[in-house]
Amino acid sequence: HFYHTRYPDIDVTIYNTGVGGDRVYMVLDRLEWDVYYGNPNKLYLLCGGNDIKYWEYGVGKEELTEDKIQYIYNSMSNYQKFIDTMNNDGKDFVFLGTALYDGGDYKGATYGDDYHKGSNKAIGIINNKISELAKEKGVKYIDFFNYTTQITNKVRETDPTSPVLSSKDRVHLTDEGYL
């Protein structure tokens, strides 16, 4: 409805094929029957949060260990495959860097502010790796992480408990955040 009300003369159809818990290799597995459904002329991929094994972070597990870093580096081969597949299929696509994990103590959060504590370091690493790969391959990349962090910090200056762009789980964005 966002685009239809603001740009009524533009014919836009949006398919959100995001699946909670997906990693980039899982998106690759369902390209033909799901992501390509409706023959989209533009694709946006917001992926990375699950590719850092976010569940490995939390109170007492904040440290970015060699194992955690190696897992991120190993997942990059799947991002390479994704780019190659999209290019081979002639798809116009944009990578969106993973948004911040919002550890702030805000209204309506389902989990405490220590949930997945330390994961933003890993999100920063995977976003940097995806950005480098996208640049190397000539693929568009939008840095959601720094963008959502800046907006969140700005709003929290005047309202420290505002959820800003994060949904109740602190990981996924609200509708406004995705737009």
Question: What integer pLDDT is reported at residue 107 of this predicted model?
Answer: 56
Q: Does 105 score more than 90 pLDDT?
A: no
pLDDT digits (tens, 9 = 90+) for 126-170: 889 999 999 999 999 998 888 878 887 888 788 877 777 766 666
Instruction: Report the alpha-carbon distance of residue 28 to residue 45 in Å, rounded.
Output: 11
Q: List Cβ neighbours of 53 (8 Å cut-off, separation of 6 or more).
A: 68, 71, 122
pLDDT digits (tens, 9 = 90+) for 1-31: 667 788 888 887 778 888 888 899 999 999 8
pLDDT digits (tens, 9 = 90+) for 27-55: 999 988 998 988 888 898 888 888 888 87
